[in-house]
Amino acid sequence: MDIFLLVLNIFLLLLLCFGLYKMQKNGVSFAKRVFAGLGIGIVFGLGLQYAYGADSEVLAGSIDWFNIVGSGYVKFLQVIVMPLVFISIIAAFTRLTLKSNIGKVSALIIGILLGTTAIAAAVGIGTTVLFDLEAIKIEKGDAETARGEQLESRAGDLASKTFPQQMLELLPANVFLDFTGARSTSTIAVVIFAAFIGIAYLGVRRKNAEQAESFAKLVDTFYTIIMRVVTLILRLTPYGILAIMTRVTATSDYGAIAKLGEFVAASYVALLIVFGIHLLLLMFAGLNPLTYVKKAFPVLSFAFTSRTSAGTLPLNIKAQTKELGVSDGVANFAGSFGLSIGQNGCAGVYPAMLAVMIAPTVGINPLDPSFLFMLILVVAISSFGVAGVGGGATFAAILVLSAMDLPIALAGLLISVEPLIDMGRTALNVSGSMTAGLLTGKATGNLDTSVYNRPPSTDFEADA
């Protein structure tokens, strides 16, 4: 490896980061700096691959160093997820920020998440038929075969659990284990545990107001500190996106993407249609969809580049509360539930497209009404417990294909374009959870429309 070139590449990244810092000092808005980081990262990454080649040792070494900025930023976001979810849910009770009972809010959020996932499945089916996609047309290489074998092995483990058993996985058994994020459903488990504490607080407040007040002050102190930590981390967003996008574009296999270009195009058409449906739902609720796009852009762009719904949660919640006017309680429930329930991209569009593509290989007519009805139903039900991290779409696909009795190994044919498609899927997942928060807030009186309608903040990462 040429050490000089390695040092040069690191210096160039630091120089670009310094440019973003100067933009901040000159008063450039947060959204514009995020967009600049995204665009510069694309150009820089393409330039690196053109200069060195995707398999170059210099490029691999450079990406290792770039990951200190990119992956390091994601880790900072992930480490604050559980504390943020836990303390924010409790604060929703101690601050009385929910104007409706917790059951109604939760039911609306989950209903919207599942409903939009069912719609996303229908869109995925229609797009697959429109583009005439079939798994049999895709070439199978060594990597695809190995991936298929891995999926079949994983499916064997999942097949042993019934749907009721999968539902039980959502409940907390050892909350300290769930605080570590050890399970794919850990976030939902923490939400449920925090809600129980909140309900207990309301009971104590009726019987012993003095003790309840002391607890509320303690929660408020912790909440203020946690939100300050979130603010400090969010200030790193433009730099994180720059490094992440550089890695993505510098290491992508564009030859494989070209071979599966039709599937990539069909996937993004489906994702954009579902995003358009999100905007229509907001418009029907009396909310300006263009305002949503402008204010949600920094959040969705990070979700797109990082491919992690969980890592995007702090940005998701802050955008909902500070920019879109959703109450703390609703925003935290919507963001947290959206990590493991009803992910429109990973658990809606993707498994539905795979099922329609694979069905003809076993003699099933994918346009049969009974098959379509069962597929949409299975997709919606299977969306419970899908992890909000990388691999969630694979988990959802295994569940759906297993339930529909379709060969799982064929899902491995798309391994070469998975990262590219997963970027769009993750952004749609996050948009779905934000849409659920907005619609629920509007329906229950937990949305401040004056905050929603005001111009986007020029300093999103600053304290409100």
Q: How many CA atoms lie within 13 A of 219 on its CB side?
A: 22
More confident residue, 456 or 291: 291
Tokens of 392: 């969630």
Tell me which CATH homologous superfamily contains domain 3-453. Answer: Sodium:dicarboxylate symporter (1.10.3860.10)
Backbone angles phi, psi at 393, to 5 degrees: -65, -40
pLDDT, the chain, mean: 83
Question: Is the distance from CB of 112 to CB of 439 less than 8 angstroms?
Answer: yes
Q: What are the tens digits of pLDDT across the range 179-214?
A: 887 776 777 788 888 888 988 988 898 888 888 889
- The full length of the chain comes to 464
> Could you tell me the maximum CA-CA distance found in the chain, to the nearest angstrom?
71
Question: Is the distance from CB of 250 to CB of 45 less than 8 angstroms?
Answer: yes
C-beta atoms surrounding 382 within 10 Å: 26
pLDDT of residue 154: 52
pLDDT of residue 91: 82
pTM over 0.85: no
Beta strands in 359-427 (DSSP E): none
Q: How confident is the model at residue 84 (pLDDT cuts 50, 70, 90)?
A: confident
Q: What are the tens digits of pLDDT across the range 291-343?
A: 999 999 889 988 888 778 877 888 898 899 989 999 888 888 888 888 778 78
Q: What are the tens digits of pLDDT across the range 345-404?
A: 888 898 899 899 888 888 888 888 989 999 998 888 877 756 544 456 777 777 788 778
Question: Is the distance from CB of 56 to CB of 256 less than 8 angstroms?
Answer: no
In the chain, domain spans:
3-453
Q: What are the tens digits of pLDDT across the range 129-174?
A: 998 888 766 655 555 455 555 555 555 555 556 667 667 777 788 8
Angle, CA of 253, 255 and 256, to the nearest 5°: 70
pLDDT of residue 408: 75
pLDDT at residue 463 tops 50: no
Note the helical H segments in 131-208.
142-159, 163-168, 175-179, 186-207
